[in-house]
Amino acid sequence: MKQVYDTVIKIGSMALIHHEDGDLDYNIFSRLGKALRPGMLLVSSGATEIGRVDYLKRNGSEVTGDMEDVKTDYAAQGQSILMETYRRFIDPNYSVRQVLVEHSHFNDKEKREHILRLLMRAPAQGAIPIINYNDPVSSEENRNMELRKIGNGGQAVVECVDNDETAAVITTLVEAKTLVILTSVDGIYKERGDASTLIPEISGSTPEELEKEAQEVLYYCKGASRKGAGGAAAKLKYSLEPAKAGTDVYISSADNRIADILSGKARSTHIFLRTDK
């Protein structure tokens, strides 16, 4: 397959929110939007949290009731705001294409191929795909039932509930050269919250050696930025498969410019296969 994507970028919900005033962090949207161009693909979380923030601003209180229903309502409200905000900052010469995916799209060969063809056409058409999990139409109970059914068939199951997994699956699907995972910290730390303990590199000369190194680092991956998030452990776990296939993976802060992360100027955790001579 001809390589048409050099970079897949994933950004988490908490990186898109300015926590001091409980609003969208437009500086992050601006910095990321201006960096995007055809040949890049963005996997963006944020619809649910942005919907919550928007509802709270408009009503002065949060939605109450069943948490699954609340999440659905927030995601439906936040999705349009998420896309509208990205569109505001992306170069107007480029098209922006929203792609909402579910686990079924990657566990079914025909659906997976359909998504792949859509994504592979975009760069030549001057378009930037923005992918997010389709939370408003997927309840946890139904999703779990469907995943169990697939698993009982003996095949490997792609869940994609965590957008870290979605980004890894998409990266492997399009055979991207680089995956950048943007978060609220500079990478993976040995001591949570202590930036001086950043692990700058996880590497191996073979896929097996890389996996061994990653398993040792998993010891330090504790906690998450919010309830339901996988935290550093999920980022490392899911990024390992594309890294073993030859993709350069960077975990870094959304405060950093993409160009600085890719050039090594910005602090990050770089996960990659070494070319030992």
pTM: predicted TM-score of the whole model, two decimal places: 0.88
* pLDDT tens-digit profile, the chain (277 residues): 677 899 999 998 889 998 788 889 999 999 999 999 999 999 999 999 999 999 999 999 999 998 888 989 999 999 999 999 999 999 999 999 999 988 777 778 899 999 999 999 999 999 999 999 888 876 554 454 444 554 555 555 555 567 888 999 999 999 999 999 999 889 999 888 888 999 999 999 999 999 999 988 887 776 444 444 457 888 898 999 999 999 999 999 999 999 999 999 999 999 999 986 5
Cβ distance 234 to 162 under 8 Å? yes
Q: Are 101 and 159 in contact (CB under 8 A)?
A: no
C-alpha atoms less than 13 angstroms from C-alpha of 113 in its C-beta half-sphere = 3
Is residue 204 classed as helix, strand or coil in its secondary structure?
strand
99 SS3 class: strand
Provide the residue ranges of all domains of the chain, joining segments of one domain with +: 7-45+89-273
**Burial environment of residue 36 by CB neighbours within 10 A (0 to 12, 13 to 18, 19 or more):** buried
Q: What is the largest CA-CA distance in the chain?
A: 62
Q: Spelled out in words, what is the top-level CATH class assigned to the domain 7-45+89-273?
A: alpha beta
Chain position carrying tokens 């900052």: 89
